[in-house]
A and B are shown apart, each in its own frame.
Chain A
Amino acid sequence: MSGARKLSLTRRYHFAASHRLHSARFSEEENLRLYGKCANPHGHGHNYAVEVTLAGPVDPATGMIANLGDLDPFVDREVVQAFDHKNLNEEIAEFRDCVPTTENLCRVIYRRLRGFPAARLERVRVEETSKNSFEFAGESGEARQDTP
């Protein structure tokens, strides 16, 4: 017997940025021990890939959870244009007092995107390299409330 099913839509975006893993709370020796080569004072960079997953009902008139004509410019403004070819430590307000690990980057991107008006943000997944990826689906109660 066929049960109920649900749908989500995922779009991938790309940006390149530099960062340095370093915390003022630790001594230089501790930073080096903790973050290794990622603590290099001149920084380094990655080609980041961001997967944005939206969930919600499919509009029968359009066949869509959300129109990419709305999602693409929103993500482009909030994330791609904001982060591409930038230094995350120096140029992104959220990282002024926060280490730009990809765990924290996931949370920052999630919080920048959760106000997307046309569908519910289900998850943000960030690939720092093809070998490392991180996901964030919001803390309990953090997601934007579904409108009935």
Chain B
Amino acid sequence: MIRVTRKVEFSAAHFYHNPDFSPEENRRVFGKCNNPHGHGHNYVVEVTVAGEPDPATGMVLDLMELKEILQREVVDRMDHRHLNYEVPELAGKVPTCENIAALIWDLLEPRIRQGRLDRVRLYESPDLFADCTADAKADAAPRAPGGRA
């Protein structure tokens, strides 16, 4: 099996806030990320697809097609946007690394037709990233756990 990784970048604004928390609780839990005026990051997304290379083309997947999927599903949706207000899939969620990585997984996973999506790594900064991967244990289990991920 070969893993192919493609990188894409976007810049976006966000802030952390839970309307169920009091203002004090929001400040305590989220710290400076709770600033209602928002702040932003240069996000880097590494998308890894795993599979066997096609013997005829030598490729796991058509990278041009992957590039177009990433442009449409990630960059067009999130680049130079405010993640709290302009990405409907994140409505009602705190736009953390974990939630953005999970959303990107959910957007890409059904669209990868050659190979299979192996990992979405989302960097908020060079020192902080979230990984979203398939949960082999949950897939193999007879009953999927009612997890919160």
Contacts from A to B (Cβ < 8 Å): 2-13, 53, 57-65, 67-69
Q: Is the CB of A10 within 8 A of B95?
A: no
Residue of A nearest to B102 (CB): A7
Residue of A nearest to B144 (CB): A4
Residue of A nearest to B129 (CB): A10
Residues of chain A within 8 A (CB-CB) of B61 are none
Are A9 and B133 CB-contacts (below 8 A) given A4-B144, A57-B148? no
Q: Is the CB of A62 within 8 A of B29?
A: yes
B131 at the A/B interface (Cβ < 8 Å)?
yes
Residues of chain B from 79 to 127 with CB closer than 8 A to chain A in the complex: 93-99, 101-102, 105-106, 109-110, 126-127
Q: Is the CB of B97 within 8 A of A9?
A: yes
Provide the bound-state CA to CA distance between A98 and B135, in Å: 37
B132 at the A/B interface (Cβ < 8 Å)?
yes
B128 at the A/B interface (Cβ < 8 Å)?
yes
Provide the bound-state CA to CA distance between A11 and B95, in Å: 17
Are A2 and B109 CB-contacts (below 8 A) given A59-B148, A62-B96? yes
